[in-house]
Amino acid sequence: MVNKIGIVSLSSGILGESFIKHELEIGKERLNKYGIETEFLPNALKGVDFITNHPESRADDLLTAFKDDSIDMILCAIGGDDTYRLLPYLFENNELENIVKQKIFLGFSDTTINHFMLNKVGIRTFYGQAFLTDVCELSNEMLPYTKKYFEELITTGKIKEVRPSDVWYQEREDFSENAVGTDMEKYTNTGFELLSGKPVFKGKILGGCLESIYDIFDNTRFNDTVSVCSKYNLFPKLEDWKNKILLLETSEEKPAPELFRKMINTIKKYGIFDVLSGVLVGKPQNETYYDEYRKILLEEISNKDLSVVYNLNIGHATPRCIIPFGVDAEVDVCRQVIVFNY
C-alpha cells in the first residue's frame, strides 16, 4: 500500500497556476480520502514561467523524491514538451544513477522522456496516468476505468492485467470551475484490434507518446533535442529493443495523418520494427484520424509478421489504463487481455 506520494512537475508548470486551483483541490481531497499523504516537491507548484526557466529545479525535485525514503510513489503532475532539458542535470555526473532506487513512478505524455531516463538506470516504471489529468478529473469521481487501475497500483504496487474499457469519452473542452461535477460524453469502445501478426506475443514493454519519441530524432519542436538526447544515449540501442514490445500513443495535438506517417517512418528507419516482438498503439484522442492512423500503420510497418495491436485505452484518450514498463508481458488479443508477470 502506498502511504506517501510525491508530486513532481517535470515538464509543464501548470499545476502552480491559479486558474487550475479548483482541480488541484479536487486531486488533493481524493488522495486524502485514500489515506495517502501527499507531498508536492519544492518546485512543483512554482508555476509555468519558473518551471520553464529552471530545468535544473525540476531535476532536483526528481532526485529529492527518489532520495526521500518516506515517498513510496512519484506521480507526475502532467506532461508538457521539454522534459528532455533535465538530461544534463540527471546524467552529466551520474546524478540519477547514484541515488535511484526502485519505487513507483507514474506519468505519461512528455513524461515518456523521463520513462526512458529511468529505463537507462534500470528502474521499472508505470505509464498511463498523471495527477492533473486523472486524479483531478472534474467529474464527481475519477473515471471508473481509470480509477480501477490507479487503485490497483496504490494498493498493490503492481498492475496484474489490462483489458479494454467498455467505453471511451469525448475529451473535455471546458476545465473551468463551471465544469466541476459535469460528466463527459461517452461512447461504446470496441476493444483491442489486431492489425497484423500473431494474436499472442510476449516481451517487456517500453515506449510512450509518439511525438515525444519523434522529438528524440527530430529538431522541429526544439533545435537541440536530437543532440541532447543523443549525447546521453537516451533512446535504447537497437539490440536492446530485441524481443521487446513498443508502446505508441498520440497526443492531444491530434497529429495530421501526414505527420503521423512521418513519425512512424522515422522510427522505422531506426530498424526497430525488424527486431520487436510486437507493437501496441493507443486509441487516438476522440478517435480523431482513427481509420487514417490504422491505414498508415498497415502501410508503413512492412514486417507483416510483427504483431501490431491497435486501440488500447492508454495515453491521451480517456479513460486510461496503466501499463508497467520493464515487466514481462503477454498480449492475447483473442482473450482481449495483457497479463504481466513479475
In tens, the pLDDT along 90-119 reads 999 999 999 999 999 999 999 999 999 999
CATH of the domain at 119: 3.40.50.10740
- Which strand (E) or helix (H) includes residue 294? helix 290-300
**Same domain for 178 and 54?**
no
Indicate the average pLDDT of the chain.
Answer: 98
**Same domain for 215 and 313?**
yes
How many other β-carbons are positioned within 10 Å of the β-carbon of residue 18?
8
Strand order in the sheet with 161-162: 161-162, 337-341, 328-332, 200-209, 245-249, 278-282, 307-312, 193-196
The predicted pLDDT at position 37 comes to 98
Listed residues 160, 183, 210: the one ending a domain: 160
**Same domain for 207 and 300?**
yes
**Same domain for 218 and 336?**
yes
The predicted pLDDT at position 184 comes to 97
Radius of gyration over every alpha carbon of the chain, rounded to an integer in angstroms:
19
**Same domain for 184 and 156?**
no
282: confidence class by pLDDT, cuts 50, 70, 90: very high
**Same domain for 175 and 148?**
no
**Same domain for 110 and 231?**
no
Distance CA 13, CA 177 (A): 20
Please state whether beta strands 73-76 and 104-107 pair in parallel, antiparallel, or not at all (unpaired).
parallel
**Same domain for 82 and 176?**
no
The predicted pLDDT at position 18 comes to 98
**Same domain for 200 and 139?**
no
The predicted pLDDT at position 263 comes to 98
How many other β-carbons are positioned within 10 Å of the β-carbon of residue 152?
16
Closest CA to 195 of 127, 77, 266, 296: 296
**Same domain for 112 and 180?**
no
Q: pLDDT (tens digit, 9 = 90+) per residue, 138-191?
A: 999 999 999 999 999 999 999 999 999 999 999 999 999 999 999 999 999 999
Q: How far is CA 155 from CA 129, 185, 233, in A?
A: 16, 29, 35
The predicted pLDDT at position 298 comes to 97
The total domain count for the chain is 2
Identify the domain containing residue 260 by its residue range. Answer: 167-341
CATH of the domain at 334: 3.50.30.60
Listed residues 102, 131, 160: the one ending a domain: 160
Q: Which amino acid is at 195?
A: L
- Cα-based angle 174, 146, 47 (whole degrees, multiple of 5): 50
**Same domain for 205 and 259?**
yes
The predicted pLDDT at position 278 comes to 98
Average of per-residue pLDDT across 210-221: 98
**Same domain for 240 and 216?**
yes
User: And the C-alpha cell for 106?
Assistant: 507514474
Listed residues 160, 178, 210: the one ending a domain: 160
User: And the C-alpha cell for 88?
Assistant: 544534463
